Chain A
Amino acid sequence: MIGLIGKKAGMTQVFDEEGTLTPVTVIEVEPNVVVASRTLEKDGYNAVVLGSVEMKSSNVTKPYAGQFKNDVTPKKHVIEIRDFEKECNVGDSFGVELIENLVYVDVVGTSKGKGFQGVMKRHNFSGGRATHGSKFHRVGGSTGMAAYPSKVIKGTKMAGRMGGEKKTVQNLEVVRVDAEKKIVLVKGAIPGTKNSIVLVRTAKKK
């Protein structure tokens, strides 16, 4: 598995080799620095900790700065990637070149917050009939069942806060990697708002 921390810049369209318009998401990638490495002997698993985006020194607390060793300056975003398939030492820096050879990627991000939503939007309930005397429109219906169990089982799907959670979109095609502009173009949409931080990594199921 290899991956990089990036920033969602927004969506646009590009023409592919056949001249078809393809919808793409532009992901900006600032240099990713290896902050630390986890090893089987010491930590029980292999992983690499990547950091990206420089921080203003006045914003860095001492406990936060403690994780950055070997002259690595404090980074705003830190992500740990297990079983990193590239030899690297603490202090090494990666750009978009790292994922140049990938055909498909997964993108992990935080989805847009949608506030308090009903069951139809939040859990894809089908709702009731709109007309013909129906009095059952967008509500969830019965939750507690009958005499037994006569209570609402934990985890029952109901209305509530939606969005703003970690989401992964799998198997997105890499349309273009531009090392000069430090950007990756992936086909289709990815979670989150513009300027939100995402992880672009090897597709797990390809």
Chain B
Amino acid sequence: MLKFIINRMMTLAISLIVASLVIFAAIELIPGDPAAFMLGINAAPDTVAALRQELGLDGHPVARYLRWVAGMMTGDFGQSYTYQVPVVDLVMARLGISLPLTLMALVLTILIALPVGMMAASKRNKAADWGIMGVTQLGIAIPNFWFAMILVLVFAIQLQWFSAGGFPGWDNGLAAGLKALVLPAVALALPQASILARVMRSAMIDVLSQDYIRTARAKGLSEKQVLLRHGLRNAMIPVVTILGLQFSFLIAGAIIIENVFFLPGLGRLVFQAITQRDLIVVESVVMLLVFSVIIVTFLVDIAYAWIDPRLRQSRLNLGAFR
């Protein structure tokens, strides 16, 4: 198991390095001179030169890349050009909204999807199953930001249970903060929960048709024992795979949903930065998003090994047995 984790950590490190190279190349190398780009067409040459120096753009690309990576490791993401404050302060403040939002949506997704999927599997081809399959089919087709707008229309404008947007800040109490995130989290979670519930259902149905389930029945286990002792854990393998992929959709979704609810999260920050051509902020936020997806992929890999003993040994080269 330890060998497996070390192996995965190596992959993690390599992934992070390659990802940072891609982002660095995209932002700092491709557009030519980022300083000129940020200032626009009409900037005076000496202003551009001053900004170049301020941003540390005069060095060799390799030196700049190393400085950028070293900076990130020590918590220094550089200086925002438009806000004139360290990027790390900007990002941290916004992360305080985006991260809880994504996590809330993730928890909601799991809490909705797993029971619903299991219920559909156990009532296979009955009315409840058909109903669940229909609703989830629709749920997948609904764009999350549109669903968010409908939620605002119904729960904020018509029923006035929630405010239509904005964020009171965590200083005004945990409850108030969480309440402001409820509608966005629901809007984010519904389509993903629909997908996951369907995965759960088909995984469960697939597992229940396996030979080892028949073996368990032949041992005298009741249906419930069969399901809990043998079915659930095996069905979790595809579910965890999909859940890992869904995290990146949730992160991307959160960035869009924040716009619907005027939440001052990473999404708002990055879109403003794009219009203001604040490349340093864009670069940092993108790196942060990619970083979190890679970390989650790593965690999913570890979860696999925890569920499935076949993966705990370091990988066999199956190609050799072709």
Are A and B part of the same complex? no
